[in-house]
Amino acid sequence: MVHLSSLLLKNYHGGYVVIRLALAGHKQANRPFYRIVAAYNKRARDGKYLEQLGSYDPLPNIYNEKLVSFNFDRIKYWIGCGAHPTKPVAKLLGLAGFFPLHPMTITEAERRRAQTELIATEDVLQEGQKEAEV
């Protein structure tokens, strides 16, 4: 029997388009690589997408760079069509300078700085204690 639903509902989704990260290269464990993708909201994360708009490699390379690519022309088109970017994509675009900076990036940066200061003061305290003992 022919699946009537897929024939009739091919163009109707009742959802909206999102620009999100989809995991690629699924066969390799412990080596993530994301594709920046325009897809319907309800689709699987790694499933069929409308268009690939770029890539993001979260692991830094030998030059200590994380490579991100954006097809700005097509991103503008999809945002013009009413696509919503997700939080990580919005953060990346903010870092790139295309969007204004995402507030969470700033918050994370502040948190990291607080953490490093905490560790630094703990180290200083420990060294001070060691010297006092000696």
In whole angstroms, what is the distance from residue 110 CA to residue 98 CA?
22
Least Å distance, CB 36 to another protein, is: 10
121: contact with another protein by CB under 8 A? no
95: contact with another protein by CB under 8 A? yes
**Which residue, 84 or 101, has its beta carbon nearer to another protein?**
101
Report CA-CA distances (Å) from 8 to 13, 43, 47, 88: 11, 18, 20, 34
**Which residue, 9 or 109, has its beta carbon nearer to another protein?**
109
68: contact with another protein by CB under 8 A? yes
Element (H, E) at 43: none
72: contact with another protein by CB under 8 A? yes
**Which residue, 74 or 84, has its beta carbon nearer to another protein?**
74
Least Å distance, CB 127 to another protein, is: 22
Q: Are 53 and 71 in contact (CB under 8 A)?
A: yes
Residue carrying structure tokens 């088109």: 77
Q: Are 21 and 37 in contact (CB under 8 A)?
A: yes
119: contact with another protein by CB under 8 A? no
